[in-house]
Amino acid sequence: MPSLSANPAFLVLADGTLFEGNSFGSRGLALGEVVFNTGMTGYQEVLTDPSYFGQLVTFTYPEIGNTGVNSEDQEALHPSVKGVIVREFAQSPSNWRCMQSFESWLEKEKVVGISGLDTRALVRHIRNFGSMNGVISTDGKSSPAQLLEKVRNSPTMEGLNLADEVTTEATYLWNSTCDVEFDKRIKPHQGSPYRVVAIDFGIKRSILDRLVSHGCEVTVVPSNSDISSVLQLSPEGVFFSNGPGDPSAVTGGIALAKQLIEEANDLPLFGICLGHQILGLALGGQTYKLAYGHRGLNHPCGTTGQLEITSQNHGFALDPKSLPEERVEVTHFNLNDKTVAGIAFRNRPIFGIQYHPEASPGPHDADHHFSRFVSLMQERR
């Protein structure tokens, strides 16, 4: 049974559905899109992933916080989510890496949480009716009717450029803490590193670490960077990162990708998640919003005869019919619903994948895509 609390809380969805539970974490009000993640592990990585900016994340795993929180599993300095929804949270974590409890961390980071509600019923509701805005209230100051009015007056995810909200303000060189000697997937790189410019639409630290482990020197630039500021860094490859919001609203990133494709003389380009969608949009393709998105660690992707179990976190997808067949090939599909999971340009060193090969959290099946990117740069040396 969920832990009892003297602090009641409400979750109100945009269609008027009301859930009652208990307050935990920070107290207050959190408004955002309600989504769910099906992973059984990695809650700290999920909550600090900038791709979740502006969302209320529901965990389907019944108890969250068992291993507490530590400083090594952060994907960014602070959580990006607006709120957390769980069935039950562990009040007494147990792990040798634990530095503080899950709840104390949420309190410190001012993240509002609600526990004790029926997360199975909530997930079924989202699956039936789609992701929608909602509000968590733990301060007791607003009635459900007032909360519903707030939700219905809030903007939906479609049309929102949230990448500009989470991007870096200044260019920086990533100094990775990972050690390739302890990474059995990678042989230590010999020779000078590959110069990579990463466009930050909400980049995860683990992606930067994987690039470094594969022999890259990564310079991270803001999402509004133009082609001249990118090329003056003399990149051997350009990486388009993951990020939150509606990809079609990231007009600056789309324009940059289009210019690089047309003017950068076969410069290798690699996109993950939002970056993958931006590459498709730069070709004139279109994206659409999924009913409830893909957020979890066990999504099968691939083509006939080749399969990868993948980690995913996205609410939009490329429309395969909108992609020009003479210029781009769909290389991977999500085998659950046949949505586009990977593209590659014909006769150009450019590709994107919809899923997360950095495996933080998640399986390692897709790590070879980093090697693929490096191989494209190596061919140009």
Per-residue pLDDT tens over the stretch 146-201: 999 999 999 999 999 999 999 999 999 997 654 444 455 556 566 789 999 999 99
What's the pLDDT at 176? 63
The helix (run of H) or strand (run of E) holding residue 300 is strand 287-303
For residue 12, being part of any structural domain is answered with yes
Q: Of 152, 171, 187, which residue constitutes the final position of a domain?
A: 152
Element (H, E) at 269: strand 269-272
Query: Same domain for 107 and 61?
Result: yes
Residues 215 and 322 in one domain: yes
User: 346 with 331: CB under 8 angstroms?
Assistant: no
Domain end, chosen from 152, 180, 208, is at 152
Return the CATH number at 136: 3.50.30.20
Cα–Cα distance for residue pair 91/102, rounded to 1 Å? 8
Determine, yes or no, domain membership for 158. Answer: no
Is residue 248 domain-resident?
Answer: yes
Does residue 270 share a domain with residue 193?
yes
CATH number at residue 352: 3.40.50.880
Same domain, 81 and 206: no
Domain count, the chain: 2
- pLDDT of 304 strictly over 80: no
pLDDT digit string (tens) for 39-62? 999 999 999 999 999 999 999 999
| 3 occurs within a structural domain | no
Q: Which residues contact 197 (CB under 8 A, 6 or more apart)?
A: 218, 219, 220, 221, 230, 233, 235, 237, 238, 239
Residues 50 and 110 in one domain: yes
Residue showing tokens 């860094």:
233
Average pLDDT over residues 351-360: 96
pLDDT at res. 181? 44
Question: What is the pLDDT averaged over residues 106-120?
Answer: 97
213 in a domain, yes or no?
Answer: yes
Q: Which residues are catalytic, by number?
A: 273, 356, 358
261 Cβ contact partners less than 8 Å away, ≥ 6 residues apart: 269, 279, 282, 283, 345, 348, 350
On whether both 308 and 275 belong to a single domain, the answer is yes
pLDDT digits (tens, 9 = 90+) for 331-355: 999 999 999 999 999 999 999 999 9
Which structural domain, as residue segments, surrounds residue 216?
Answer: 163-379
